[in-house]
Amino acid sequence: MEKGKIDPIALEILSHKIWQITDEMARVLERTSGSPVVYDVRDYMTAIYDTEGNAVMVGCGVVFHGAATVDAVKYIIETYKEDPGINDGDVFFANDPYISACHQPDVTIITPIFFGSEVVAWAASMCHIADTGGIDPGGFCTRACEVYQEGFRSPGIKIVENNKIKKDVWDTILNMVRDPGGVGLDLKAMIATGETAKSRIFEMIEQYGVDSFKLLCDEIINYSEKKLRGKISQLPDGTWRSMEFLDDGKKLLLSMTKKNDSLVFDFTGTDDQSINNRNSSLSATKGAVFGALAPLLCYDIPWSQGILNVMDTIVPEGTILNPKKPAALTEGPIGPAFLAHDAAVITISTMLNSSDEWKEEATASWNPSVSTQAFAALNQHNHFIVTIFMDIQGGGGGATPCSDGVDTGGMLWIPTTTMPNVETYELILPILYLFRRQTKDSGGPGKYRGGVGGEYAIVLHDSPSGEAVMPPYGCIGGEAAIGLGLSGGYPTLVKQYKLVTDSNISHLLKSWNIPEYVEDLNGDVSLLSQSDVWHLHNDQVFYQNWFGGGGYGDPLEREPKLVLKDVLNELVSEECAELIYGVIIDNKTKLINDEKTKSKRITIIKDRLNKQNKYTI
């Protein structure tokens, strides 16, 4: 690099160097934390910021937090620079959703990086800790009606000073949580990532100098903004809208307007805030939009402040996406914020689909939520453990204008996520999986099918207490279908939780019979409501399914041989093949009956045309 200048090749190489630093921070976090939420699910984020707290590089963790943690770093800089001061060897803890966090369990650890006596950068990592000491275990606080019931919440507190953990602060935080061992390990893992960032940035500064490093940070941000504006300006101007719903009927409306090289995401028309914890913090809402924009339009652009500069977000105060204090918000990120993300995916994709050049970048909704439940119990090792079931990470991908969605492909907003291993959960929890598999008919039908989601069933096994508490979370996708399709594609399925009581499962397992369906068991099968806190006892079976992806295009345009392949692979039922796709498969030969298929599809079209209903306003 020449002084005061960075040539394009150096910019490309060195921006990847900084990206590598965020990746190394992530590896440190995974290898140090003991939580499957971190090392399997990758529900974390790592990032580097400039001296003013602008994001220079957001890593491939939970993309939502790329936007939210900018607020955390800026708040620390503005609020605490004088008192208690910001010094070399300090580390800060922050988790207040009314300032920066998506919700209290998403804790950010923030490290100032000094070279000599000046701050040259900031590093931050975020991970979802197992508990915050709120009204319900697991951090999601189903019964909370105020933020004060949702556990420990700090706008920013110094947790390390002069390279030494502050014992009074440390003890206070861990004293308030149900799993101090697990939470303590997560905090130490995040502190370690800051040390990793420090040593790598020192190496860069020793090689290139402080001024060049700062110039590099500015140039990355400028480059991101310029590149994204360049892309956007190639797309047609217009307004695209999406409306989505919580299960209780509360509505979210997004109008995304693109004019020249600007994008405005306007949530005006969204319903008022909830009286329960089904509200998204403003940080989570902005993060949700960023979480759609980054993978869809910025897969070849550094994820930096430059992207946030292009993204203009209007979120009226007092709504489910920007509530007033003291509204509860722990379900925000996996409820209303997810709807905001899904709406942003749909509007951005509909815009991309309006361009012959860019249409193949469009996608229907990916697995649109992480609705699941915490699990708190004395485990088989007599240790009290709290964790979250994250099998739902293996959600279906949205279909595109040229391909089916990826079956159990993951989540759009955590590009690197994996499903936790069955063996991991069975090792740390007193449970046994009866099955875990892909779910037939869970991919939204279309010319291109949404990827399928999955399902599992568990029982307690070797449980010292014979009981587990399972607070559910996720206020979407249980009644209103989410995971919408595009251009005539259908949405994915609606999720279900079931409990079988008074079952004969112990008897079956003793005789080595594992049921294929929960309905094969003796006992009472009931659908569970997400408004309650669930309990699992011996001889009960718990079942959950999760979302696939939305479909693309009219299902009648799907090639019959692809429908047959789906049926033979048990991804689509013969019932759906006939009713939705209009494909008739011979029962005996399992081949397509071409004549009957042609006739069926003509009949469906005639039925459509016979409707003759037109909407008038």
Partner 1 sequence: MAQRISESLELVEQNGKSQIKCSKCKQVLCTAEENYKLSAVYAEFPLSKAGPKYFFRPSDKFILREYYCPSCGILFEVEMLPKGMQPVWNIEMVS
Residues that bind partner 1 (CB under 8 A): 236-243, 245, 249, 259, 350, 353-356, 359, 401, 441-442, 444-445, 447, 478-482, 484-494, 496, 527, 545, 552-557, 573, 575-576, 580, 605-606, 608-609, 611-617
> CA-to-CA distance for 252 and 339, rounded, in angstroms?
7
Q: Do residues 362 and 400 touch, judged by C-beta distance below 8 A?
A: yes
Identity of the residue, 138 or 489, whose beta carbon is nearer to partner 1 in the bound complex? 489
Residues 471 and 149 sit within 8 Å (Cβ to Cβ): no
Handedness of CA 453, 459, 464, 466 (dihedral sign): positive
* 3-class SS of residue 387: strand
Of residues 227 and 447, the one with the C-beta less far from partner 1: 447
For residue 529, report the phi and psi dihedrals to the nearest 5 degrees. -95, 140
In whole angstroms, the minimum distance from the beta carbon of 548 to partner 1 comes to 9
Give the whole-angstrom CA distance, residue 316 versus residue 322: 7
**Is the Cβ of residue 301 or residue 480 nearer to partner 1 in the bound state?**
480
98/358 with CB nearer partner 1: 358
Identify the three-state secondary structure at position 170. Answer: helix
Rounded to a whole number of angstroms, the distance between the first and last alpha carbons of the chain is 62
Q: Shortest CA distance to 255 belongs to which of 358, 352, 369, 348?
A: 348
> Using omega within 30 degrees of 0 as the cis cutoff, is the peptide bond preceding 84 cis?
yes
Minimal distance in Å, beta carbon 148 to partner 1? 32
| 111 vs 353 by CB, closer to partner 1 | 353
- What letter would DSSP give residue 176? T
Whole-number Å distance between alpha carbons of 512 and 531: 36
Distance from C-alpha of 518 to C-alpha of 525, rounded to nearest angstrom: 8
Residue 13 or 402: the one with the smaller Cβ distance to partner 1 is: 402
| CB of residue 332 to partner 1, shortest distance in Å | 22
Structure-token pair, residue 86: 């910001």
Measured from the CB of residue 352, what is the shortest distance to partner 1 in angstroms? 11
Least CB distance to partner 1 at residue 238 (A): 4
Is residue 582 within 8 A of residue 600, CB to CB? The reply is yes
CB of 587 to partner 1, least distance (A): 18
| Distance in Å, CB of 560 to partner 1, minimum | 17
Task: Name which of 9 and 609 has its Cβ closer to partner 1.
Answer: 609
Q: Are 68 and 75 in contact (CB under 8 A)?
A: no
**By three-state DSSP, how is residue 433 classified?**
strand
Least gap, CB of 447 to partner 1 (angstroms): 7
Whichever of 286 and 447 has its CB closer to partner 1, that residue is 447
Pick 168 or 607: Cβ nearer partner 1:
607
Cβ-based neighbours of 587, under 8 Å, separated by 6 or more: none
Provide, rounded to whole angstroms, the least separation between the CB of residue 43 and partner 1: 26
CB of 476 to partner 1, least distance (A): 12
Nearest distance, CB of residue 595 and partner 1, angstroms = 20
Q: Which of 389, 396, 422, 557 is nearest to 492 (CA)?
A: 396
Q: Which is nearer to partner 1, 202 or 435 (CB)?
A: 435
**DSSP per residue over 14-35, as a string?**
HHHHHHHHHHHHHHHHHHH---
Nearer to partner 1 by C-beta: 35 or 372?
372
Name the residue nearer to partner 1 (CB basis): 587 or 612.
Answer: 612
- For residues 302 and 17, the answer to whether their CB atoms sit within 8 Å is no
With beta carbons less than 8 A apart as the criterion, state whether 273 and 320 touch: yes
> DSSP label at 378?
E
Cβ-in-10-Å burial (0-12, 13-18, 19+) of 306 comes to buried
The residue (of 285 and 442) whose beta carbon lies closer to partner 1 is 442
CB of 350 to partner 1, least distance (A): 6
Spatial separation of the C-alpha atoms in residues 307 and 228, rounded to whole Å: 7
Tell the burial category of 118 from Cβ atoms under 10 Å away from its Cβ (0-12, 13-18, 19+): exposed
Name the residue nearer to partner 1 (CB basis): 387 or 487. 487
| Among the listed residues 214, 221, 159, the one whose alpha carbon sits nearest the alpha carbon of residue 190 | 159
Q: How far is the CB of 172 from partner 1 (least distance, A)?
A: 44
Residue 168: burial class (beta carbons within 10 Å; 0-12, 13-18, 19+): exposed
Omega of the bond leading into 326 within 30 degrees of 0 (cis): yes
In angstroms, the CA 106 to CA 287 distance is 13
Surface-to-core class of residue 136, CB atoms within 10 Å of its CB (0-12 exposed, 13-18 middle, 19+ buried): buried
Shortest gap between Cβ of 39 and partner 1 (angstroms)?
32
